[in-house]
Amino acid sequence: MNDEQFWGLLDVAGKTAGDDLERRYQAVFDQLKDMSRDDLVDYTVRFAKAHETTFTAGVICGAYLIYEGNLTHDSFLDFSDCLVGLGRATLERVVACPDSLTDYLELAYCPSLFFSMAGIKAYNSKLKRRESPLEDYLPPLPSGAFEAIHFAGKQGLDVACRASCEVLTPVLAAKFGPAIWSA
């Protein structure tokens, strides 16, 4: 599977299911389940690489604000997973301009590692007894993904992070910041 096939698969799912994330996942899985193991590994690795492009200060700030200050490591991974699942055009738009997340507020309600798990689920369904699952072959997510922003949990953002978010995502900061920072 090459990049065009990878993004094409996500585009077909989007055309099939529209904005319904669960139907979109099912459309992705339906395409993957008939692919070879090699293509499933390629899909999963390409997905992980696309996923890593969301680990920017701006996207993390945007997600933090959309989650109203309650963003965790796991919820960011779910959020960015669904962001990639929306396709190349959406991903590139959001990475270039994190404030465009105002058009994708539903990402705050994305199920757990939805789209990346589609390849793993399809691959693992083809395993015979005693074969290693796909997860054994994948690189780990970058450990420093959250070092770009300092989180303070439910207490809200610290002063430096607040200033960063106001610069990196001014529209989202104006919309969600007052509720977070007044707490």
Domain extents in the chain: 3-181
Q: Exposed e or buried b for every residue in 52-85, given b needs 16+ CB within 10 A?
A: eebbbbbbbbbbbbbbebebeeebbbbbbbbbbb
CB 98 within 8 A of CB 169: yes
pTM: 0.82
Taking only the tens place, the pLDDT of each residue in 41-84 is 889 889 988 988 988 888 988 988 888 878 877 788 888 888 99
Report the distance separating Cα 20 and Cα 58, nearest Å: 25
E strand map for the chain: none
SS3 state at 134: helix
Instruction: Give the pLDDT confidence score for residue 73 in this predicted structure.
Output: 77
